[in-house]
A and B are shown apart, each in its own frame.
Chain A
Amino acid sequence: MESIGKKTRQISLKVPLSFLLLVLFACASPMKKVQVSSKFVSNNRLPVLKLAILPLNGEIEGTEFFREALHAALMDTEMNISEKFVVDGVIKKNGWNTSEKLFAIPPQKLGEALGADALLYGKVTKWNKYYAIIHSTLVAGLELKLVDARTGELLWRGQRVDREFEGLIKIPTGIIRAIADPISGIISTIADPIFFVSKKSNLDALASKVAKDITESLRNPYTIKKADKMDQKIIITSADEYIKKIEENNTSMEINPLEEVLIDGSIPPVELEDIPSLEDDYLSLEGIRPDFMKTAEVAEKVLHLSKPEKQPELQETYDVAPMPGDSSVTSQKQSSNDIKSASLKTEKLADKKTKTSKPAKISSDKKNIYTIQVGAFQSRNYAKTLIEKLKRKGYNSFIAMARIGKKMWYKVQVDHFQDKKKAVLYAKKLRKKEKLLYFITKTDAAPPA
């Protein structure tokens, strides 16, 4: 009430102001402008994003009202809104306690710190109360930008200014009211403006209204008009600079990724039910396999330098090895109850065929022999565990050791093939039955007898 008293003492100043307001705002309608990135909204739906609502910039009281109102309004969207305490906690922890600091950080880094896919930046542009005895006005305005934290792209932006009046110049009811007031009491003409500006809940309600209106297109994407779509893709400058920095500071691939996963103490990846399957053509595109696989292969070849360079060509002597328990194959080539190693069977078949064609033997040191690698471990025990499991199921599996850098790796491989296509076919069946990740690799090792 003290503040109202102060304002009352300034009547002489406020009266002219009220007439100025009459001229300026009498016919004012809420100003609202929204722009949306074309890719942000498709089929009237927003992508499911984790959104962090950042502290707003601007007049402090206004920022608090608006942030809460925005949070409540956006909870009604398809976006997943980050908890406020998480956003505030991360900001505090990182010492980004001023708007300047916060807004200077590339969106990608902010998104990384907050665990968010998108960021809502905002600024309170208007937060004013005007009081002049017979008239009062509340003004609240907000500018928002929604930025993709993965790319730095501006997805959506909006601005809105809204006003609420009470008193004589309330148009159209204000002037009529001046006539009608004798009916309901002239007192209200003065009383209403006083209560209007002094009541905190009115400001709060106006902030809620502005927040709801400005986010209407996020809550109801079908309201977005064609004219609201941005003409071009806009990337936030700091985001662009961040990408350039990564590009310039690029160091070549620093790791053998196997190191990250298959370390000592790891569990052999025996049954990875949910890992999506590799597709067939990957296996035949050896030239574009990930570099770490090539590295492993090179390292392995170095270990076997003492082996003869030239090897006699092998003939294609056996069919695709049957899978253990594969009835369609076993029914032709073996008794269904006698599950033995696939390799042994194929070798028997090979022997049979070679006897009738050329008298070539399967040498123990041939090159261009393929095998299916299903795991690589630094722990021999883990490799053995996988081998035993595979052997129990009837697969001809074995360990190949390879030194990569300073570390020794125990690679678990299944069977040997002279024809890569057949290795691929066998590997496909292996994948289907055992859900094992694999790749086809050449080996100099001898097929076991």
Chain B
Amino acid sequence: MIFGCSSIKKRVTDDFKLVNAPVRVAVLPFDLEALSNEDQEIAAIFRRIFYGHFSYLGYIDIDIDEIDQTLADNMLTSTEDIYLHSYDYLGELLGADALIYCTIRKVSNVTTGIYAETSIEAELKMLDANTGSFIWEADSKEININGILAPKSLITMIQKQIDNSKKRESLIRVAERFYKKVVKTIPDPASLRVKNIHLPEIYTLKANINNETTYKGFILEVYLNGEKGMEASFDIGDWKTNIPMQEQSPGKYRGYYKVQKEDLIKKTLIIGRLENSNGLTSKKIYEKGLVEFSSVF
């Protein structure tokens, strides 16, 4: 066991109510005060660790890669640039209701032979992207110590010293604990979201198939009737997926696939899919028949 201590000072806005909790949240790139290339990499790793735990909460977390791509497309490549922009600009750019900022004040990894310390200090906050008001903030510190200060045997002490000398692994280990604890202080609207879950509705899914084998040239047509204005696609089992469908009139989607010479599948389901702008997906299986393609005509 290593000797560790942590402290978290958290603050949640007084008027926070679960019903008003933001829906889409963007975790912005983390800022490190001392910026070497290695630090930048560490900040990116820390952000992914935080994101991994944050995504467990009842928010719709915008994919980190999507965030970075959007920021890069708008010439925002450094945290300095990003943090200089206003919350409403960033919110609009990323399609987020709230933004998470993190400034890492200190990252240390010291191994002296008789004393080893790994510590992280950071300040995090979630801001409303419309008003700029803070929703949650935390000032946190995590220290892991091994050596003469921790009651350890000599062998264990040496072993921990060696472990601690692997800076990257050691920091990741501490960061895992650190961010997990931090995320637990964020108000979680999951209970409310579980109650009011609403996925895009698919009313009907139809296709021009039954259980007969079809051959080269046959055009499989799929018709989906559901909520309007969404992205629709269909799968032919796991064989061909995300075949796009066009919304031909509000809520009426059509897609098709033309059987090719080499196509060969047996007893496969047709599955329609509807996705809203938040990435929430619903599916419907065509249960009136299975599709079979044969290359023999």
Contacts and interface: CB of A to CB of B under 8 A. Distances in A.
Interface centre among B51, B176, B194, B244 (most CB of A within 10 A): B194
Contacts of B190: 84-85, 88
B217 A71 contact: no
A89 B195 contact: yes
Contact of A257 (B196, B217, B221, B237): B221
B293 to A, nearest CB: 12
Contacts of A195: 1
A1 B195 CA distance: 37
Interface string B139-161: 00000000000011111110100
A360 interface: no
A195 B279 CA distance: 44
B186 interface: no
Contacts of A208: 176, 180
Interface stretch (A18-26, A285-293, A316-324, A338-346): A285-293
Interface in B12-58: 48-49, 51-53, 55-58
Bin chain B's interface residue count: 35 or more
Contact of B269 (A73, A88, A150, A272): A150
Interface in B228-261: 235, 237-238, 241, 244, 246, 248-249, 252, 254, 258
Contacts of A260: 204, 206, 223, 225, 252, 254
A138 B2 CA distance: 16
A173 B208 contact: no
A261 B273 contact: no
B9 interface: no
Interface string A66-78: 0010011101100
B238 A153 contact: yes
A243 B266 CA distance: 11
A53 B277 CA distance: 22
B187 interface: no
Contact of A263 (B58, B180, B208, B252): B252
A254 interface: yes
B248 to A, nearest CB: 5
Interface string B49-81: 101110111101100000000000000000000
B162 interface: no
B280 interface: yes
A166 B49 CA distance: 27
B66 to A, nearest CB: 11
A183 B1 CA distance: 17
A158 B290 CA distance: 31
Interface of B is mostly: mixed
Given A75-B52, A253-B289, A247 B217 contact: no
A266 B210 CA distance: 27
Contacts of B254: 260-261
Nearest to B261: A281
Contacts of A88: 190, 194
B285 A73 contact: no
A221 interface: no
Nearest to A277: B258
B288 A75 contact: no
Contacts of B196: 89
A205 interface: yes
Interface string B2-16: 000000000000000
B166 interface: no
A115 B283 contact: yes
A201 to B, nearest CB: 7
Contact of A177 (B153, B180, B249): B153
Contacts of B51: 75
B193 interface: yes
Contact of B238 (A148, A251, A255, A269): A148
A261 B285 contact: no
B151 A247 contact: no
B272 to A, nearest CB: 10
Bin chain A's interface residue count: 35 or more
A71 B269 contact: no
Interface string A268-289: 0100101100110110010011
A267 interface: yes
A86 B288 contact: no
Contacts of B194: 85, 88-89, 92
Nearest to B188: A85
Contact of B217 (A166, A176, A201, A282): A282
Contact of A111 (B241, B268, B283): B283
A193 to B, nearest CB: 9
B153 A181 contact: yes
Contacts of A357: none
B284 interface: yes
B209 interface: yes
A196 B237 CA distance: 49
A5 interface: no
Contacts of B193: 85, 89
A173 B210 CA distance: 67
Nearest to B193: A85
Nearest to B280: A86
A202 to B, nearest CB: 8
A71 B235 CA distance: 26
Contacts of A443: none
B237 A263 contact: no
A81 interface: yes
Given A86-B197, A115-B199, A266-B249, A253 B223 contact: no
A422 interface: no
B197 A50 contact: no
A128 interface: no
A180 B244 CA distance: 68
A266 B248 contact: yes
B218 interface: yes
B170 interface: no
Contacts of A267: 248-249
B153 A183 contact: yes
A115 B197 CA distance: 13
Contact of B55 (A71, A285, A290): A71
Nearest to B217: A285
A151 B237 CA distance: 6
B217 A281 contact: yes
14 contacts: A71-B52, A72-B49, A72-B55, A84-B190, A85-B58, A89-B194, A89-B197, A150-B271, A151-B237, A208-B176, A246-B290, A257-B221, A261-B223, A267-B248
Given A184-B157, A243-B267, A262-B248, 12 more contacts: A72-B52, A75-B48, A76-B52, A85-B58, A86-B197, A89-B195, A151-B269, A183-B153, A191-B151, A247-B211, A252-B210, A288-B217
Across the A-B interface, give the 5 residue pairs with the lowest CB-CB distance, nearest first.
A89-B197, A266-B249, A115-B281, A72-B52, A260-B223
